[in-house]
Structure 1
């Protein structure tokens, strides 16, 4: 079983001092002009890191059937790219990973604040996970409360094994040390958008992971 804090591989660590790249160096939808402070992680670097994580997963789980549990909505792009790279490795290797993909949705944010009201949609009956190897794919882990709750929910269905792949892990003071088994990047405690991560459903159409500006927060606040 997976457990919070079971793996201390921090991935690529982005320091608090890193101010990011100027958005003027990259292409992005013009309707977000002025809404972004910086590009924190360019799209190409995300894809390269996803390929490395796919190799790590292949090394650990090769020749085992797995169920990929994609956490929506923010995790859909990372999950799609990660699964594509695992499939490519399976096609060009003596080892293979037969995969099924299932989708669930977590909702806990209002504007840029996490709330205590966590909703798990699409996870009412996960009995098919019983005895299976499960790979949970999540875009971002902050305090760890959401991931801990999800792990407890999945464990109730008695899978054989649970691993977690998280693209981003935030360094936050109230962290429960819920570290994914496969981590893409450790980032400062800043509100990021893009690569399917949103702010009130906006910014999912950005390719890069960016830091939203205060102007952007006000513009799209509900």
Structure 2
């Protein structure tokens, strides 16, 4: 079974389009980014608590079956790390445990604010190792959904036993193809978000909170084409 819109009952925290977030001066923001951000949308503490609940749901769903957790790099590494750590805590302290394997894949489709329309897959040569296994793909954000659909098609070709997708964020965008992952942290407005390993041309990965980038930041860190 692969994760898709018709076979998921995912729940999430919805952040409305008119959500004002939090002023930057109420949080510790790296000095080098203070002029580049509009507001904090999701504080790190809230991300941490939501990730803990997702970990509990995943362990409950998979039962005692082993799973391979496939991290989508680069943006997914922070959510992936925290999610795996919380599953490991549950393994140590709950009545049953889930054996974890770890693997990585890198996808690239963005330049500045727009998708390039070309999905670059790096490190997929060893996906044959996933044949017959339960796979949990961990992603930072589902935007249009096209990238994840392409990855799921690739996964089908290696014949895993089961594939589910956990995404920290699901963006509401008119460009969406309607794909919904199995596990969702937050549904967010159609904004360009950075922080917690989400980047803008490789910057802002070192920002702890998820924030809205402003026009100054977009200009400063844009790729000249």
Question: Aligned residue for 1:71?
Answer: 72
1:39-78 matched pairs, under 5 angstroms: 39-78=40-79
Show structure 1 runs of 4+ deviating over 6 A. none
1:194-209 matched pairs, under 5 angstroms: 194-209=195-210
Q: What secondary structure is seen at the aligned counterpart in 1 of 2:81?
A: helix
Question: Aligned residue for 1:9?
Answer: 10
Question: Aligned residue for 1:111?
Answer: 112
Question: Aligned residue for 1:216?
Answer: 217
Rounded Cα–Cα distance in structure 2 between residues aligned with 1:34 and 1:136: 34
**2:110 aligned with 1:83:** no
TM-score by length of 1: 0.98
Residues 70 and 103 in structure 1, CA contact (< 8 A), matched pair in contact too: yes
Q: Deviations over 1:79-135 (max 9, x none)?
A: 000000000001001211111110110000001111111101001231111110000
Rounded Cα–Cα distance in structure 2 between residues aligned with 1:59 and 1:132: 18
Rounded Cα–Cα distance in structure 2 between residues aligned with 1:58 and 1:73: 24
Rounded Cα–Cα distance in structure 2 between residues aligned with 1:140 and 1:209: 12
1:38 CA displacement? 0.5
Name stretches of at least 5 consecutive residues in structure 1 with no aligned partner.
Answer: none
Aligned length: 222
Question: Aligned residue for 2:103?
Answer: 102
Rounded Cα–Cα distance in structure 2 between residues aligned with 1:3 and 1:26: 36
Rounded Cα–Cα distance in structure 2 between residues aligned with 1:30 and 1:171: 30
Distance 1:3 1:62, change over 3 A: closer
Name stretches of at least 5 consecutive residues in structure 2 with no aligned partner.
Answer: none
Residues 4 and 182 in structure 2, CA contact (< 8 A), matched pair in contact too: no
1:10 CA displacement? 4.1
Q: What secondary structure is seen at the aligned counterpart in 2 of 1:114?
A: strand
Q: Deviations over 1:35-78 (max 9, x none)?
A: 00000000000000000000000110121110110000000000
TM-score by length of 2: 0.97
1:176 CA displacement? 1.4
Rounded Cα–Cα distance in structure 1 between residues aligned with 2:67 and 2:168: 19
Q: What secondary structure is seen at the aligned counterpart in 2 of 1:77?
A: helix
